[in-house]
Amino acid sequence: MTKIERLIDANLNRIREGIRVVEDINRFIYDDKFLSSKLKKMRHSLQKAYSKNRIKNRDILGDVATSTISSELNRTSIDDIIIANFYRIGESARVLEEIFKLNSSELSQYFKNLRYEIYEIERLFYSDKTIN
């Protein structure tokens, strides 16, 4: 179970960080109160999946994929950052949806719903803003 807890912890961190990036861009660059608020509520709702015990299973030094690939270092616009982070959120939500099927159908369903919610937020974002 330790490896599964490590997987959950990594994806919870990834999803929270991705939401925060999109939230702050909407807040500080686009002054979009509606989407900023929606994303903030989403980020805070992740708390239900957290467990202090998972943090004990972190193994940063033992992580076999911590190196950065070149495409992660190249962002030419805010849109590149937004796109990367919407993908990051959706991918992490999918991993959590699948892995929680092992021990919590409630959390699995929560992350499935969150994934669809982020797809809708992404649609709203692009219907409101121009991609450069």
User: According to the model, what pLDDT value does residue 74 have?
Assistant: 80
What is the DSSP secondary-structure string of 64-118?
A: TT-SPPHHHH---SHHHHHHHHHHHHHHHHHHHHHHGGGT-HHHHHHHHHHHHHH
* Tens of pLDDT, residue by residue, the chain (132 residues): 689 999 999 999 999 999 999 999 999 999 999 999 999 999 999 999 998 888 888 777 777 776 766 666 688 999 999 999 999 999 999 999 999 999 999 999 999 999 999 999 999 999 976 554
Residue whose pair of structure tokens reads 């925060």 in the numeric block:
20
Q: Element (H or E) spanning 131, and its range?
A: none
User: According to the model, what pLDDT value does residue 54 have?
Assistant: 85
**Is 92:15 a contact under the CB 8 Å cutoff?**
yes
pTM: 0.89
| Nearest-angstrom CA–CA distance, 90 and 108 | 14
Q: Element (H or E) spanning 124, and its range?
A: helix 105-128
User: According to the model, what pLDDT value does residue 53 have?
Assistant: 83
Q: What is the DSSP letter of 26?
A: I
Amino acid occupying residue 99: I
